[in-house]
Amino acid sequence: MKKRSKRQAPTVEGGIPPLDALKQINLNAAGLDIGDDEIYAAVPEGRADPSVRVFSTFTRDLYALADWLTACGVQTVAMESTGVYWIPIYDLLEARDFRVYLVNARHLKQVPGRKTDILDCQWIQQLHTYGLLQASFRPPEDIRALRALARHRDNLIESCTREVQHMQKALQQMNLKLTNVISDITGVTGRLILRDIVAGERDPHKLAAHRNPHCAKSEDEIAKSLEGNYQAEHVFALRQALEAHDFFQQQLKACDAEIEKRYAAFTPQVDLAAQPLPPAKRPQRKSGGNAPAFDLRLYLYQMAGVDLTQIDGINVLIAHKVLSEIGMDMSPWPTVKHFTSWLSVCPHNDKTGGKVIRSHTLKSQNRAAAALRMAAQSLLHSDSALGSYCRHMCARLGKAGGITATAHKLARIIYAMLKNRTEYRDPGTGYYEGQARERAVKNLKRKAKELGFDLVSHSA
């Protein structure tokens, strides 16, 4: 039996240095442990006595903390991302020209050597001094403002959806089968009928007279669905749900107006006279539902300098969600691999002994990645190159894996477009089928050669 070769431990010269030889990189580093009521701050030994102080979280105390850090000669501060408590102190320290590191809590737990008698702020300060912490990505201030509004808009849409479900429940409890004959009870026909019901109208034929001419069902069918038991308590619940839905719709319009102001404040990246907006790749549907009232596609094109909606599967709202999360500057990610890793749409390989023992995608709540997965889902029946790629990856990896792989492909395309300011070119429906066929033929030829056969093509 062949003996297994023993690997020699690397030496210091040209190898891995011992742990006690780690250099202190950030000499003027501080660490913060942030809570709702108190903030523990640690500075290097000898800068203050004591080197750890506790501050309250009121605004004047945050200014006192910043003044104390300045007096201690601190230039960079590391803090753990805890809920939303870190946001006020982060903004304040950033405005005071500190280099602020927002650190993932998972990274702090993965570094060994922590002792029980060390406070969290001291542990963070020690790791940051040796350069063992990486700052999380945080977009510029204008993108952060747009991102906050975009997330708030999503919350308003969820609230509208919840009230629609309450209306549907009230109708079902009264055995009013309006949802069986109308696809959307918040449409023109549905809203007129609901308003008459809460106003006291009970005649099914008078209610059905609100039928829109474009409605698929006849007036008699709608009238038949409106015969039920109009109980007072359920009508009351229906009224409150309808009023709440109207309120959230007004809030949504106000939010869209504020988002439009934010987009208008961005410096255009293209001259529309020299580079006009390309024609839409897909026919635009009639605006309605929760779509914004302004021309969002034009604003996205001016802000990014490229039209992301030219990518199959990326519509205006998905492009809006992605850009509001990542911005237009790709410099925080040196390569596309860094970008896809930050999105958590690429495999994470656990290696030992030079072998991959496990490969999986890390769990993440990244909103940009969720939007890309939604775009990938829409490509399952798309007659495009990306649609073909999505179906091929789903057949190979399963539906969940195929969706993630397609989201990874979309992320790479978006990264290249934003970094190089290049437009997307669809390679054609048969592009990926051709690549798959070439790989299959190549593998067959290799296998035939190993078995001593020659593979001959009939078309040759």
**pLDDT tens digits for 129-151?**
988 888 999 999 999 999 999 99
- 250, 265, 280 - which closes a domain: 265
Label residue 362 by pLDDT band (50, 70, 90): confident
- The answer to whether residues 304 and 338 belong to one domain is yes
Residues 416 and 435 in one domain: no
Residue 235 structure tokens: 């009508």
Top-confidence residue, 222 or 425: 222
At 256-283, the pLDDT tens digits run 999 999 999 999 998 888 888 888 877 6
Q: Which of 79-83, 307-311, 432-436 has the highest mean pLDDT?
A: 307-311
Same domain, 147 and 247: yes
Same domain, 392 and 460: no
Supply the range of the domain harboring residue 35. 24-129
10 occurs within a structural domain:
no
Residues 103 and 174 in one domain: no
The label of the residue with tokens 């190979």 reads 396
In a domain, 340, yes or no: yes
Confirm whether 376 is domain-assigned. yes
Angle at 406 (CA atoms; ends 402, 410), nearest 5 degrees? 170
For residue 272, tell me if it sits in a domain. Answer: no
Q: Are residues 95 and 159 in the same domain?
A: no
Domain end marker among 265, 286, 320? 265
Q: Which residue has the tokens 């070439």?
A: 438
Based on the domain organization, do 404 and 435 belong to the same domain?
Answer: no
pLDDT tops 50 at residue 19: no
CA 42, CA 304: separation in Å to the nearest integer?
A: 41
The partner residues of 31 in beta bridges, in order of sequence, read: 42, 78
Mean pLDDT confidence for 140-169: 95
Which pLDDT belongs to residue 306? Answer: 93
285 falls within a domain: no
* Among candidate residues 98, 129, 160, the one where a domain is terminated: 129
Mean pLDDT of 77-91: 90
| pTM for the full predicted model | 0.83
Cα separation, 269 vs 262, in Å, equals: 15
Residue 280 lies in a domain: no
User: What string of DSSP letters covers 114-151?
Assistant: --TTS-HHHHHHHHHHTT---PPP---HHHHHHHHHHH
Categorize the per-residue pLDDT at 59 as very low, low, confident or very high, splitting at 50, 70 and 90: very high
Highest mean pLDDT (candidates 20-34, 220-234, 272-286): 220-234
User: Average of pLDDT values for 15-34?
Assistant: 75
Strand partners, 76: 29, 99
Total domains in the chain come to 4
32: helix, strand or coil: strand
Same domain (yes/no): 149, 99 = no
Please name the helix (run of DSSP H) or strand (run of DSSP E) that holds residue 403, with its range, or none. helix 399-420
Reply yes or no on whether the pLDDT at 81 is more than 60: yes
pLDDT for 18 = 47
Tell me the average pLDDT across 222-247: 95
288 within some domain: no
Average pLDDT score over residue span 400-426: 93
Examine the pLDDT at 338 and tell me if it is beyond 60: yes
Q: Phi-psi region for residue 156, left (φ > 0), alpha (ψ -120 to 50) or beta? A: alpha
Q: Using only C-alpha atoms, what is the Rg of the chain?
A: 29
Mean pLDDT of 61-85: 93
pLDDT score of 355 = 80
Contact (CB, 8 A) for 251 and 163: no
Q: Are residues 415 and 439 in the same domain?
A: no
160 with 249: CB under 8 angstroms? yes
Domain shared by 197 and 230, yes or no: yes
Are 300 and 249 in a shared domain?
no
Positive or negative: CA dihedral 416, 420, 424, 425? negative
